[in-house]
Every structure is written in structure tokens, then in C-alpha cells.
Amino acid sequence: MDESRKILAKKYEKIKLVVGITEAIISFILLVLFVSLGYSKKLELFSYSYTSSAYLALLIFGLCVGITASLLSFPVDYIFGFRLEHKFGLSNQSLAKWFIDKLKTALVGALIALPIAFLFYYLISNYDLWWLYLACIVWVYSALLAQIAPIIIFPLFYKFKPIENETLRETIMNMCQKAGFKVKGVFSFDMSKNTKKANAAFTGLGSSRRIIISDTLISGFSDEEIETVFAHELGHYKKGHIKKGILISSLGAFIGLFVMSASYNFLLPKFGFTHAWEIGALPLLSLIATVWAFITMPIGSSISRKFEFEADRFAVETTKNFPAFESTMEKLSFQNLANPEPNKFVEFWSYSHPSIKRRIDAAREYSVGPA
């Protein structure tokens, strides 16, 4: 990445960071005002004016909040989610396609969230230990979604097909066999319809387990570089990152929901509420969840970066091709307009992947080995 591209990447990251922080602060303040000034209680009464069912009232309440939030955030999403990507030469989407994808994402998200929302309300209305039962349900629900997502959800947004390069496919399948990794297949998907960025991922559980590689990666990278990317994804499996991630997420859910429940019960009377199941009080729980997510973000980010370093090491040691790894990282940085050397604090707090420079430097040591 030349200096002009580095400057552009830093500018792109700075804009995204500033906008993200500003939007989060404003959203938090608006939510505090919504609860503390009594508007959430008024909206609860409004919802009950149309029905006597608590679950339908919850649905009306959620729709009102969701639609209002979407309308308020739409200008920011348009300017910094659509216009900005085009300005920096990263997007291939038309405005109509971008809007349709936003709408489709909202609908799919609502369908996924609705059963959990109703289960949550049932639990909080009937059990003091609602947080414990909810954590168990979320864990099972997440595992189920991970299994069906590659088959049902992802195809709603992208077209998947087996990779056509037979030599590359055979190499990848041989790597899987040697690693004892049973995979449904290796698929490409049409990421180029939306963006010029490139990506690859390990998805699914059990029989739905597969590797997906973007068409932008296949068209812009050599076979050796794609093998490196795949070896990295295979490293996540060999190092047990999927299982570890599920266990860590589950533990985090139990701890987080316990802390949120205790905080919620403590704050309820201070905001004029009597019962935990009052619909108007539920945004208060969202506020607590937001604070908890912010506080624990560095922990999750650090664990994720550790996993990425381990997968990088597996890739370099498996392929024995550091030059391919280095060129892959540099190409990804260039194509995705990733800042190769971000601010250390920003990287520590929020980066799920180590910076490109740190990944290359670490991989160079792996390839050389101990002195």
C-alpha cells in the first residue's frame, strides 16, 4: 500500500470511527431521555389502547420504537453507509439495491428477534431468574441459527456456488482431509454485486459447515494467496476457536444477563417503575445492555485478535509460504481500504482483527521460527 492509499485508508477509518461514536452517543442520550422523561410510559399506554394483550402491546411498542429509530438514523446510514462507500470507491451498489438490502436485513432481523422477544417477555413476567433461563435459550437459539444460516439466511442476500477452479478446490479439500476437517463444501459468493472489498469465512455447524470465499477474492488473488486465506479459516477449526467462541459467548451471556438483571432491578424505582415486566421500562434494560457491551468490548476484541493470530500462525506453518501470506494481507488491506497501522488504543478497544502490520510482523516470526 503506497502512502497515498495509506492516507486514504486513515481518512476513511477516521470518518467511520467519528460517525460511529457520535451516533452511539446521540442514540444513548435519546434513549435516556425517552425513559427518564416518561415517553416510554406514554408509548406503553398508547400500545395498550389498541389491545389488552401484553404481547401484542409489546409488538406495537417495538414497532413504534424500531420505525422511529430507523427514520432518525436513515440520513446517517445514507450519507455514511451509501455515499461514503461510493466516495472512497468501495461500493458497487445502486441506491435502489442498497435500500432493498436495508429493508431485507430489517425484515430478517425482525423475524429472528421476534420469537426471542416474546420468550424474553414471558420469562421476565413470570420468573425472578428470567436472566438465567434466557441465557440458556439464547445459547440454544444461537447454535440453531449458526447451523441454518448458511442454508436459509445467507442465500437471501448472496448467490452461492461451488468454486469452479478444480485445482484450487482439490488443494483445499486435501488440506481439509489432512486436518481431519469434514466440510460440506467450498463455495464462492457474489460479494462483488455490493462492494469491491474481499472476504472469506468459516460458517455453519455440523452438516451445514462450509467455507465461503467472495468472488472478489477469487478474481483478485492468486491460487497460493487463496490457499493462505483458506488455511487461516481452517486454523480456526484446528485451534478449536469455534467451540471456544461458543463457550466464551455462553459464559458472557450468563454473566452479562445476571449483571443486567441486578442493575435493572436497582434502577427500576429510580425511573418511576414498579415491575420488571412493564413494557415502558424495557428500554431501560437496553440502556444497561449498551453500557455493558461498551465496557466488555475490549475483552471480546482481545480474545478475537488472539484467535486471529493463532489462525495466521497455522496458515503460515501449514502452507510454508510466508510470501503468499504477506501479499495476501497487503492486498486485503489495499482492497478493503483497511488502515494498516491504526491508533493503538482504537485497535485495543474495538478491533476484532489485529492490524495488517502486526499480522505480517507476527507471521514473519512464525515463518523464521525461534532463533
Secondary structure of residue 242 in the 3-state scheme: helix
Q: Answer yes or no: do 13 and 129 share one domain.
A: yes
In this prediction, residue 1 carries a pLDDT of: 66
Measured in degrees and rounded to the nearest 5, phi and psi for residue 146 equal -60, -30
Host domain of residue 200: 160-232
Where is the domain boundary, 205, 232, 259? 232
> What is the mean predicted confidence (pLDDT) over 99-113?
91
Axis crossing angle, helix 241-267 with helix 223-238, rounded to the nearest 10: 60
Res 263 pLDDT > 50: yes
In this prediction, residue 139 carries a pLDDT of: 84
Q: Answer yes or no: do 151 and 214 share one domain.
A: no
In this prediction, residue 368 carries a pLDDT of: 67
In this prediction, residue 371 carries a pLDDT of: 40
Q: Cα–Cα distance between 333 and 338 in angstroms, integer? A: 5
In this prediction, residue 282 carries a pLDDT of: 95
In this prediction, residue 21 carries a pLDDT of: 93
> What is the mean predicted confidence (pLDDT) over 18-23?
93
Q: Answer yes or no: do 144 and 167 share one domain.
A: no
In this prediction, residue 369 carries a pLDDT of: 58
CB 129, CB 265: distance < 8 Å: no
Q: Which helix (H) or strand (E) is 357 found in, with range?
A: helix 356-368
Q: Answer yes or no: do 77 and 16 share one domain.
A: yes
Structural domains counted in the chain: 2
Q: Answer yes or no: do 215 and 346 share one domain.
A: no
CB 230, CB 186: distance < 8 Å: yes
Q: Which residues contact 326 (CB under 8 A, 6 or more apart)?
A: 360, 363, 364
- pLDDT band of 115, cuts 50, 70, 90: very high
162 bridge partner residues = 187
Res 291 pLDDT > 90: yes
Residue with cell 422523561: 37
Q: Which residues contact 82 (CB under 8 A, 6 or more apart)?
A: 91, 93, 95, 98
Average model confidence (pLDDT) across the chain: 90
Q: Which residues contact 211 (CB under 8 A, 6 or more apart)?
A: 172, 183, 185, 186, 187, 200, 201, 202, 203, 230, 233, 234
Measured in degrees and rounded to the nearest 5, phi and psi for residue 189 equal -135, 150
CB 241, CB 311: distance < 8 Å: yes
Best CA proximity match to 23, nearest among 88, 72, 67, 63: 72
Res 207 pLDDT > 80: no
Res 358 pLDDT > 90: yes
Per-residue pLDDT tens for 192-203? 999 999 888 878
Low-confidence winner among 103-107, 144-148, 321-325 (lowest mean pLDDT): 144-148
> What is the mean predicted confidence (pLDDT) over 144-170?
86
Where is the domain boundary, 176, 199, 232? 232
Res 289 pLDDT > 70: yes
Q: Answer yes or no: do 61 and 40 share one domain.
A: yes
Q: Answer yes or no: do 304 and 346 share one domain.
A: yes
- pLDDT band of 144, cuts 50, 70, 90: confident
How far CA 309 is from CA of 99, 214, 316, 364, 365, in Å, comes to 36, 22, 11, 12, 12
Low-confidence winner among 131-135, 143-147, 193-197, 250-254 (lowest mean pLDDT): 143-147
Cα first-last separation, the chain: 30
Res 85 pLDDT > 70: yes
Q: Answer yes or no: do 153 and 167 share one domain.
A: no
Q: Answer yes or no: do 166 and 274 share one domain.
A: no
> What is the mean predicted confidence (pLDDT) over 211-217?
88
Q: Answer yes or no: do 155 and 165 share one domain.
A: no
Q: Answer yes or no: do 34 and 140 share one domain.
A: yes
Where is the domain boundary, 211, 232, 253? 232
In this prediction, residue 306 carries a pLDDT of: 96
What CATH number did the domain enclosing 165 receive?
A: 3.30.2010.10
Express as a percent the part of the chain with pLDDT over 90.
66
Res 370 pLDDT > 60: no
Q: Answer yes or no: do 246 and 338 share one domain.
A: yes
CB 312, CB 363: distance < 8 Å: yes
Per-residue pLDDT tens for 31-44? 999 999 999 999 99
Express as a percent the part of the chain with pLDDT over 70.
98
Q: Cα–Cα distance between 128 and 123 in angstroms, integer? A: 8
Q: Which residues contact 96 (CB under 8 A, 6 or more apart)?
A: none
